[in-house]
Chain A
Amino acid sequence: MSDLDFTPFLLSFKLASIVTVILFVIAIPISWWLSQTKSKAKPFIEAVVSLPIVLPPSVIGFYILYALSYNSIIGSFFEDTFNVKLVFNFTGLVIASCFYSFPFMVQPLQGGFESLNKNMLEASYVAGKSKLQTLLHVAIPNIKPAIITAIIITFAHTVGEFGVVLMVGGSIPDETKVASVAIYEMVEIMDYSMAHIYSAIMLTLSFIVLLGVYIFNQKHKKRIGIS
């Protein structure tokens, strides 16, 4: 037990925290727009947002590598101008994870916004409140369970990702070697006892997180009178 290294877990949680914050900020306006728009572009945008759910992580990883490595325009621009590498480091992981986990943030939020009583939003407009005021003071406070679900699921999903992380980040200790990659390596070198310990920790944490979400949602529904 003495050589149990928690760095991969810390790295996983650091990555998931940063990605969740970034995606929350990006997803709120997009999901609000999707829930309110009658635009013909809506299904197109929805399909793009949902792509990471159906694509194999290796495909996402491959495209991200292709787009962000030094051989690409974006990658060379960032490295030459800002001296920032976009792949095989922690920055690369954050970018890749943002793409990978995006639908898990957008979809619950969009569902929450769509379930709001339209008349309630219109009552706010009629009262002279702008769309932004209505979003901040009426819409967001009334979709708390959806927000909690979106945040937790995004966080958990980012902690649990493997394929994209491995392709874009590799397995650099203290930089890109997150928990899921660490477990994969332990299995590869046949260190099953450590793989067991790491896997059990992941399993327990994931279960606690999900249980927490569902208990919160059940309580909230009771409190606001939806059964």
Chain B
Amino acid sequence: MINIDISKKLQGSNGDMQLNVKLNIDDGTFLAISGKSGSGKTTLLRILAGLEDSNGSLHVENKTWLNSKKSLAPQERDIGFVFQDYALFSNMSVEDNLLFVNKDKNLAKELLELTQLSQLSKRLPNTLSGGQQQRVALCRAFMNRPKLLLMDEPLSALDPAMRAKLQNDILTLHKKYKTTTIMVSHDPSEIYKLASRVIVLENGEIIQDGDAKDILLKTKGSQKFSLRGEIIDILKADIIFVAVVAIGQQIVEVVLDDEEASSFKVGQVVDVGTKAFAPSLY
């Protein structure tokens, strides 16, 4: 069990704000943190790692990492951290990156096999692709068998195909070692695939907390399906209006009447839903 009760004053781009997070996390949970940029996600992760100070308390498996009297250094906390930019030790080979953390050669071998990196174990990080580097970073984070694994947007710099591969690797390692994991992510499909619990942060506060399905599905009431998108244009076509909406990487058109056209504006974030017909896949 991990008990988090921390607060810190942050200077964000929208002025000062207060980060207040109270959270209990069961052992073995895969928790995703979502939220707009500047909502305090990365800071929360860094506080948990001991890389930034804060007020409050933090207990992990009956061990105190932080209270009003003491704060354990990052070295003394049992954590693994995966950074967005991989942050591998560029002077060391793949294998040495792992062994620098912990001399356990068998564990290193096992992790590299699980992530299909064995062939690359003697290579230097800069000779690897981004996806390969992040798999090495992932393995490295498991080397000291952490009590808590922290990942800060680990896959956001990778292309979609590589992301899917990495998600599988993360899932494999999570199932094998049952490490309590906290991951910052913006990608709903990634969160749905990996996380058993999701919290949404906004301006330093938790505004939603639940399982992935409840939080990610945008349908309300009798809606059959609903997608969130941004209006990028409103065009007049004869007597009707057409709103062009960007949903993820796709563009769709939605017909609007006069009144609707005047109530929406370009740049607005909207939910695109339908009630009458069930969507079909083909």
A interface vs B, CB < 8 Å? 117, 119-120, 122-130, 137-138, 141-142, 224-225
Contact = CB atoms under 8 A, between A and B. Distances in A.
Given A119-B85, A122-B49, A127-B140, 15 more contacts: A117-B85, A120-B88, A120-B89, A123-B87, A123-B88, A125-B75, A126-B51, A126-B74, A126-B80, A126-B81, A127-B143, A137-B89, A137-B100, A138-B89, A142-B90
Contact of A127 (B85, B90, B101): B101
Residues of A contacting B: mostly: helix
Interface residues of B, number: 25
B91 interface: yes
B73 interface: yes
Contacts of B79: 126
Contact of B90 (A120, A124, A128, A129): A120
Contacts of A127: 100-102, 140, 143-144
Contacts of A123: 81, 83, 87-89, 137, 140
Interface of B: 49, 51, 73-77, 79-81, 83, 85, 87-91, 100-102, 126, 137, 140, 143-144
Instruction: Sort A-B residue pairs by CB-CB distance and give the 8 closest, nearest first.
Output: A119-B87, A141-B91, A127-B101, A225-B126, A119-B83, A125-B74, A126-B81, A123-B87
Contacts of B102: 127
A126 B49 CA distance: 7
A146 to B, nearest CB: 13
A122 B81 contact: yes
B87 A142 contact: no
A147 to B, nearest CB: 12
A128 B74 CA distance: 7
A142 B91 CA distance: 6
A102 B34 CA distance: 49
18 contacts: A119-B85, A120-B87, A120-B90, A122-B83, A122-B87, A123-B88, A124-B100, A125-B51, A125-B73, A125-B75, A126-B49, A126-B74, A126-B75, A126-B79, A127-B100, A128-B144, A130-B75, A137-B89
B75 A128 contact: yes
Contacts of A138: 89, 91
Contacts of B80: 126
B88 to A, nearest CB: 7
Nearest to B84: A119
B101 A128 contact: yes
Contacts of B51: 122, 125-126
